[in-house]
């Protein structure tokens, strides 16, 4: 599972010209699911995302998390996070989970994020969306649940 996390001043998502989700200060989290993801991948990324210290403290240092500041979250499914561009010019999405598997994983992830107590808005799964955001910083961080199994050095 992958999450592209962007700290924002505000963000919204439109489907067919209609706003379906809006947040104030917080995080836009684009979520992508792989075919071999398990529940533990979602648990890891939700925990990592809401506890990631990317909000400034009184000394303007990254010392506060989304939980610490009561950030709002906008969750958007995005299978393109699994694009493989190593060969040719057209991205390959074979590692991305199929639609039904990804829908289930997305719905579970949304539930896990809501269980944190933070305000959560969402896009719509498998819909063409327009995401409008005002990046704050800018701060943009890629998270991958596979990283938890990799050594930190070497």
Catalytic annotation, pick one of 33, 44, 79, 113: 79
Catalytic annotation, pick one of 30, 33, 44, 78: 78
CA distances from 91 to 46, 127, 141, 145 (A): 27, 19, 21, 21
Rg (CA), the chain: 15
Verify whether residue 130 is a known catalytic residue: no
Verify whether residue 80 is a known catalytic residue: yes
Verify whether residue 44 is a known catalytic residue: no
Residue 107 CB contacts under 8 Å (≥ 6 apart), including other chains: 125
Residue 6 CB contacts under 8 Å (≥ 6 apart), including other chains: 27, 28, 29, 30, 133, 135, 138, 139, 140
Catalytic annotation, pick one of 80, 130, 134, 140: 80
In degrees, to the nearest 5, what angle opens at C-alpha 78 toward C-alphas 98 and 48?
A: 105
Which region, left, alpha or beta, applies to residue 3 given φ > 0 means left and ψ of -120 to 50 means alpha?
Answer: beta
Residues catalogued as catalytic: 78-80
């Amino acid at each position: 599972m992958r999450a592209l996390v962007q700290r924002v001043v505000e963000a919204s998502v439109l489907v067919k010209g209609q706003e379906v989700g809006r947040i104030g200060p917080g995080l836009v989290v684009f979520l992508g699911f792989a075919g071999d993801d398990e529940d533990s991948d979602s648990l890891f990324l939700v925990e990592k995302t809401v506890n990631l210290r990317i909000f400034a403290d009184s000394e303007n240092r990254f010392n506060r998390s989304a939980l610490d500041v009561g950030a709002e979250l906008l969750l958007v499914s995005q299978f393109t996070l699994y694009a493989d561009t190593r060969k040719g010019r057209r991205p390959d999405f074979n590692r991305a989970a199929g639609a039904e598997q990804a829908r289930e994983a997305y719905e579970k992830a949304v539930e896990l994020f809501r269980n944190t107590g933070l305000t959560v808005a969402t896009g719509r799964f498998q819909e063409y969306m327009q995401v409008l955001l005002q990046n704050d910083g800018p701060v943009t961080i890629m998270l991958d649940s596979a990283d938890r199994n990799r050594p930190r050095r070497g």
